[in-house]
Each structure stands twice: as structure tokens, then as C-alpha cells.
Amino acid sequence: MTSPTKPVTRLLHEWRGGNREALDELIPIVYDQLHGLAQQRMRAENPGHTLRATMLVHEAYLKLVDAKVPFNDRAHFFAIAARLMRRILVDHAKTKRRVKRGAGAVKIEYDDAVLLAPDSPEILLEVHEALERLALFDTRKSEIVELVFFGGLQHDEVAEALNISETTVRRELRMAKAWLHNELRSPE
């Protein structure tokens, strides 16, 4: 039995090699997982959100197709897709936010914001800004958080995407969560 990651990786390489038919074959294989990621992200948004999971997938798809990225494998592809979805949601939240930056922001717990689904653009932006601050001094920890919580990747997939061990993923994720927990609850 062939691993489901092998056809995806093969098709990604063929597509980046110029074979447009490989893209046509690839999309039905990855669409359901991309849509699942988008649904997961949209469940984290408030019920009146104007962006829908299908729209998020399609916008991410357009950016993926235009990206000049040599996707290494399936995990790398989904890591890039997760980052794109996060950026799309953050950009959408920024355009919806009416209050001057930081005004009326509520300090939240990291786990509440990410694991319990943020229901406002302010919370999403606060988590995004905290991740950007984390990335200033530890890019890998920020990437791990992004891939796990925004991308829905499993620890083994994150390890593969970042070329590190699963043990390192778990350890750095624990440290990143502790840092973010402190960052999101401490007054500025």
C-alpha cells in the first residue's frame, strides 16, 4: 500500500517541474484537508464572520498556485498553506477592526485564545502579534506554534516540515506555550 504522502509529494514536484496536469491531479487529493484546516480556523472566528471556510480555502489556493515555492513534500505544502490561511485571517481581521490599535483589547490566556477558539478579530490579532514578538527572538518556536495551532499539523508533520525531531517539537512547543501564556496575560 502506498503512503498518502508519497503521491502528494510526487505531484508537488511534478507541478513545480512544469507539469500543469499534476496540479489538476493534486487539488482533489489535498482539497479536503485544506478545507478541514479552513473549517478549523473558521470555527475559531465569531459566528457573524464574513469570510467562510470555502472562501478561505480558495483564497489560500490562489496564493499557493502563484507562490514561487519549491514545495519539498506534503508537510511543507500544508505548512505553507497554514501560514497563508493565518495571514488571510489576520489581514481580514485588520480590515474589520474599527478601534485604534490596542484600544479596548482584552488580555487573554494563550490556551483560551488558540485552543478555545477566538471569537473576535482583536483576540486573533493579539495572538498574531504575540507570535510575531516570539519570532523576533525564536523563529522556530513561533513556526511550531503556527503549524500546530493554525495549521492543524501533527507533531510528526511539524518535525518533518522543519527538519527537526518530534521530541524537539514537543519541547519547544511547551516552552513557546509558556512564553505566550505569560505574554498574553501580562500587562504591557
In order, the DSSP letters of 98-125 are -SPTTTT-----HHHHHHS---SHHHHH
Residue 104 has pLDDT above 70, yes or no: no
pLDDT at res. 122: 73
- Rounded mean pLDDT of 114-140? 75
Range of the domain at 33: 5-185
Residue 2 has pLDDT above 60, yes or no: no
pLDDT at res. 168: 92
pLDDT at res. 180: 84
Over the stretch 17-35, which tens digit does the pLDDT of each residue have?
888 898 889 888 888 888 8
Average pLDDT, the chain: 78
Which of 180, 44, 63, 55 has the alpha carbon at shortest distance from 123? 44
Cβ neighbours of residue 143 closer than 8 Å, sequence gap 6 or more: 79, 135, 162
Residue 106 has pLDDT above 80, yes or no: no
- Rounded mean pLDDT of 129-143? 89
Over the stretch 59-80, which tens digit does the pLDDT of each residue have?
888 888 877 888 888 888 888 8
Which cell goes with 20? Answer: 500543469
Domains held by the chain: number: 1
pLDDT at res. 165: 93
Question: What's phi and psi for 181, nearest 5 deg?
Answer: -55, -45
